[in-house]
């Protein structure tokens, strides 16, 4: 099968990870994949914040748990890297741009044997002062909001089965 199609069809959200470290080279490749995503009017106003440092990951998880009332074990499924996708608050294409970039990250990660899952929790709370304080430590610009994140790590088991995909297309093809 065409390798791009194969990656699209076999990628699954992974929620259980080994402790194996992702190399800097692999992380660079994921950021490169993100940077080459399409963006509305080619604005490229996004920023990708790669967090591997355990103390910072823990700090981020703790403040999310606190704000959302999650238990203190909340840890992004034990992923050892989080890539935040942020964009300028006023960019009308910010959500779409970051979604394209995150999907590129997921597919590129999958092609490297790295598992991933979208982490949505920061989106609604990134302006809460306690959360913003941690984001400031990660040098997130004040005019940026976090629109999504990729949790990444090596999968600790086989990929889950694909969830059912209903047929949702209508076809109006040219007659042969």
Ligand X SMILES: Cc1cc2nc3c(=O)[nH]c(=O)nc-3n(C[C@H](O)[C@H](O)[C@H](O)COP(=O)(O)O)c2cc1C
Task: Choose the binding region for ligand X from 1-9, 11-19, 41-49, 127-135 (rule: CB under 6 A).
Answer: 11-19
CA distance 105 to 11: 11
Q: Of the two residues 120 and 137, which places its CB atom closer to ligand X in the complex?
A: 120
Q: Of the two residues 4 and 28, which places its CB atom closer to ligand X in the complex?
A: 4
Number of Cβ within 10 Å of residue 17's Cβ equals 24
| Residue written as token pair 């703790």 | 62
Minimum CB separation of residue 176 from ligand X in Å reads: 34
Task: Choose the binding region for ligand X from 8-16, 19-27, 43-51, 79-87 (rule: CB under 6 A).
Answer: 8-16
| Per-residue binding letters, 148-167, with ligand X (x by CB under 6 A) | ---------------x----
Which of residues 13, 26, 66, 156 is near ligand X by CB under 6 A? 13
| Per-residue binding letters, 93-132, with ligand X (x by CB under 6 A) | ------------------------xxxxx-----------
Q: Of the two residues 163 and 173, which places its CB atom closer to ligand X in the complex?
A: 163
Three-class DSSP labels, the chain: CCHHHHHHHHCCECCCECCCCCCHHHHHHHHHHHHCCCCHHHCCCCEEEEECCHHHHHHHHHHHHHHHCCCCCCCHHHCCEEEEEEEECCCCCHHHHHHHHHHHHHHHHHHCCCEEEEECCCCCCCCCHHHHHHHHHCCCCCCEEEEEEEEEECECCCCCCCCCCCCCCCCCCCCC
155 strand-pairing partners: 17
Minimum CB separation of residue 146 from ligand X in Å reads: 12
Minimum CB separation of residue 14 from ligand X in Å reads: 8
Minimum CB separation of residue 174 from ligand X in Å reads: 32
Contacts with ligand X, residue ranges (CB under 6 A): 12-13, 15, 117-121, 163
């Amino acid at each position: 099968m065409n390798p791009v199609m194969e990656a699209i069809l076999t990628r699954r959200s992974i929620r259980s990870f080994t402790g194996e470290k992702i190399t800097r080279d692999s992380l660079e490749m994921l950021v490169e994949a993100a940077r080459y995503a399409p963006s509305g009017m080619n604005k490229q106003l996004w920023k990708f914040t790669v967090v591997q440092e355990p103390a910072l990951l823990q700090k981020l998880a703790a403040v999310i748990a606190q704000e959302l009332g999650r238990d203190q074990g909340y840890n992004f499924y034990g992923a050892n890297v989080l890539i935040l996708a942020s964009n300028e608050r006023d960019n009308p294409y910010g959500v779409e741009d970051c979604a394209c970039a995150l999907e590129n990250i997921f597919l590129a990660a999958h092609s490297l044997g790295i598992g991933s899952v979208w982490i949505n929790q920061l989106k609604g709370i990134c302006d809460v002062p306690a959360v913003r304080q941690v984001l400031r430590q990660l040098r997130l610009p004040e005019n940026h909001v976090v629109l999504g994140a990729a949790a990444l790590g090596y999968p600790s088991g086989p990929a889950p089965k694909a969830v059912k995909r209903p047929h949702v297309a209508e076809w109006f093809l040219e007659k042969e």
